[in-house]
Amino acid sequence: MKNMEYGDFKEEVLRELGDFYGSDATVTVSEVVKNNDVRLDGINISFQADQRIMPVLYLNGFYEQYADDVKSIPEIVEEIVDLRERGNDPGFDIDEITSLTKWDKIKDEVYPVLLSTE
């Protein structure tokens, strides 16, 4: 088991991704709260300043692979780059998805749902 703390791991992966993409992309991490208050760190790699829809890759699972000596940081960065590249061709019309961010187009299709927190 490797001894790098999660925060240091996160910073190192972000630094290496920033080095890989340079000024072509912006790499950020944001905390995402999932069901049942599960909190994950999502990596966002955007190629346009106004890009609102992009794949989110969760860093937490990659840390487990690193800590368990399954993958090195360079191998993890390579996998993240590969996953992000595959996300560039989502297999659907991005304009159609972008319309989902416009309230007037979706308001008649939005319904409340109760989720169990247990």
pLDDT (0 to 100) of residue 66: 95
- Cα separation of 68 and 71, whole Å? 8
Task: State CA 25 to chain mean position distance.
Answer: 14
- Which pLDDT belongs to residue 56? 87
Question: What pLDDT score does 35 carry?
Answer: 85
pLDDT of residue 92: 57
Three-class SS of residue 36? helix
| pLDDT score recorded for residue 72 | 93
Counting DSSP H helices and E strands in the chain, the numbers are 5, 3
Per-residue pLDDT of the chain (118 residues; tens, 9 = 90+): 577 899 999 999 999 999 999 888 889 999 999 888 899 999 988 887 666 667 889 999 999 999 999 999 999 999 999 988 876 665 656 566 667 778 887 888 888 888 887 7
Query: Would you tell me how many other CB atoms lie within 10 Å of the CB of residue 77?
Result: 20
Strands (E), 47-92: 56-58
Report the 10 Å Cβ neighbour count for 45.
Answer: 24
Q: Domain segments of the chain: what residues?
A: 6-92
Give the predicted TM-score (pTM) of the model. 0.71
Tell me the β-bridge partners of 30.
Answer: 42
Q: Which pLDDT score is estimated for 84?
A: 86
